[in-house]
Amino acid sequence: MAWDQLTDEQREIRDLVRTLAHARIAPRAAEIDESHEFPWDVVELYRENDIFGLFFDEQYGGLGSGTLLALIAIEEVSKVCATSGLILAVQELGSLGLKLAGTDEQKKRYLPKLASGEWLCAYALTESDSGSDSAAMRSTARRDGDEYVLNGSKRFITNAGVANVYTVFAKTDPDSAHAGISAFVVEGDTPGFAVARLEPKMGISGSTTGELTFDDVRIPAENLLGEEGEGFKIAMRILDRSRPGVAAQALGIAQGATDYALDYAKTRETMGKPIAQHQLIQAKLADMETECEAARGLLYRFGRMVDEGADDVELTKASAMAKLKCGDVAMAVSTDAVQILGGYGYIKEYPVERFMRDAKITQIYEGTQEIQRLVIAREMVRESRAFLLAGVG
């Protein structure tokens, strides 16, 4: 058994998720990818086994088991199906605005439904002309008595059309940049809100990714998250805590690809012996396993930091490093897995081509790898490291 630092309780829950993933989700993974249909049966599986509860505190009907275990759950599912792992990651992403900035009343109204999985959620920040540059968003929210009136659109939104509640960002002061952005809770059946289109994608095909439109959407003023003008700060706090969910998805993809390539290499023979005994294949496998373990170290470190109460400022760099490393490892390792399988790796009969397609998005969404590098470097510049140079002449 591989060494780990999990408690017996954490290990028990991890093993439950792993068993469900292999027994119930893995047999569906290829069909989910091929059909491009959202897997409601997987959502029901999560509901029945209280898997959504891993992401919520006990007072709202969750398990209160902590961030590390939540990340492990995403990783375990993503080893067999990245789409199904993403469902868990987005339940965290879409609810973090409420957890971090919601009032007690807002939390009581929404979090129990999200913890049980009765409702799904989504996070709506990106627009067609404002991805990494949030200040360029054009969606607006105008105060009108006891309501806000939302107008605009959002692009590339995961869970579009299947979510019951959305965390939406819009400008309450269109003339300001980041300081003009506010955050709102918008229910999916609100008049004037619509899903304009769903995108056909390279990977994570069973996950809905769509364009949202807001046409004079009226929402109660009490659905404002935090104060007016705090939206950008809320968005960044959310992403600091949600990016590791993408990292966990990426790590799962990488480990799943490694495990499959290893199993294949043990049985595929060339020149009279299994290819796992050829040194060039062994070198690839060794690098793949090492990179997965290095990425896991950064990801689990972040989980422990949150569970032990690290300050937000400490999480920013740790989050970006985990997302950067895991995303890059997923792409590199899944590519190597395809190479190990050779021609078989390029056809849909074998899952590694799906792993490779799914891996690419982990380098793009919730902050591109380029953005992660900017964040890491910015935090490095802010740090005081004078003590490291003490005595150096």
Give the separation between CA 326 and CA 374, rounded to whole angstroms. Answer: 16
The answer to whether position 3 is within a domain reads no
Alpha carbon separation from 192 to 145, 171, 173, 213 (Å, rounded): 18, 18, 21, 8
- How far apart CA 52 and CA 39 sit, in angstroms, is 15
Same domain, 259 and 374: yes
Active site residues: 366
Look at residue 72 and tell me if it is in a domain: yes
Q: Which of 364, 362, 365, 367 is nearest to 78 (CA)?
A: 362
Instruction: Assess whether 251 and 376 both reside in one domain.
Output: yes
Do 98 and 137 fall within a single domain?
Answer: no
Domain boundary among 116, 132, 164: 116
pLDDT at 23: 98
Q: What is the pLDDT of residues 204-216, one digit of tens each?
A: 999 999 999 999 9
In a shared domain, residues 238 and 199: no
pLDDT of 133 higher than 90: no
- Find out whether 322 and 303 touch, Cβ atoms under 8 Å: no
Tell whether 107 and 151 lie within a shared domain.
no
What are the tens digits of pLDDT across the range 90-121?
999 999 999 999 999 999 999 999 999 999 99
Same domain, 327 and 238: yes
- The CATH number of residue 28's host domain is 1.10.540.10
Neighbours of 389 (CB within 10 A): 8
- Which tens digits make up the pLDDT trace of 75-88? 999 999 999 999 99
Whole-number average pLDDT of the chain: 96
In a domain, 388, yes or no: no
H-helix or E-strand spanning residue 229: none
The CATH number of the domain where 221 resides is what?
A: 2.40.110.10
Query: Is 1 a domain residue?
Result: no
In the predicted model, what is the mean pLDDT of residues 189-195?
Answer: 98
- Domain boundary residue, one of 214, 229, 244: 229
Question: Between 134 and 279, where is the model more confident?
Answer: 279
Give the H/E segment covering residue 238: helix 231-267
Q: What is the spatial distance between Cα 239 and Cα 273, in angstroms, rounded to a whole number?
A: 48
Number of domains in the chain: 3
Q: Do 262 and 373 sit in the same domain of this protein?
A: yes
Confidence band, pLDDT 50/70/90 cuts, at residue 385: confident
| Residue 243 domain-assigned (yes or no) | yes
Which DSSP string corresponds to 291-355? HHHHHHHHHHHHHHHHHTT--HHHHHHHHHHHHHHHHHHHHHHHHHHHHHHGGGGGSTTSTHHHH
371, 238: one domain? yes
Q: Do 247 and 309 sit in the same domain of this protein?
A: yes
Can you give the pLDDT at residue 279?
A: 97
Q: Which domain holds residue 301?
A: 232-382
Give the dihedral sign, CA 17/22/23/27.
positive
Pair 181, 249 in one domain: no
Rounded percentage of the chain residues whose pLDDT exceeds 90:
93
Please tell me whether residues 269 and 370 are part of one structural domain. yes
179 in a domain, yes or no?
A: yes
Please give the angle made by the CA atoms of 305, 224 and 230, to the nearest 5 degrees: 55
- Pair (170, 260) in one structural domain: no
d(CA 26, CA 87): 15
Phi, psi of 234, deg, nearest 5? -65, -45
Q: Is residue 393 in some structural domain?
A: no
Asked if the structure places residue 203 within a domain, the reply is yes
* Token pair 């659109």: residue: 153
Looking at 229, 247, 266, the residue that finishes a domain is: 229
Name the pairing type of β-strands 269-270 and 165-171: unpaired
Domain CATH number, residue 298? 1.20.140.10
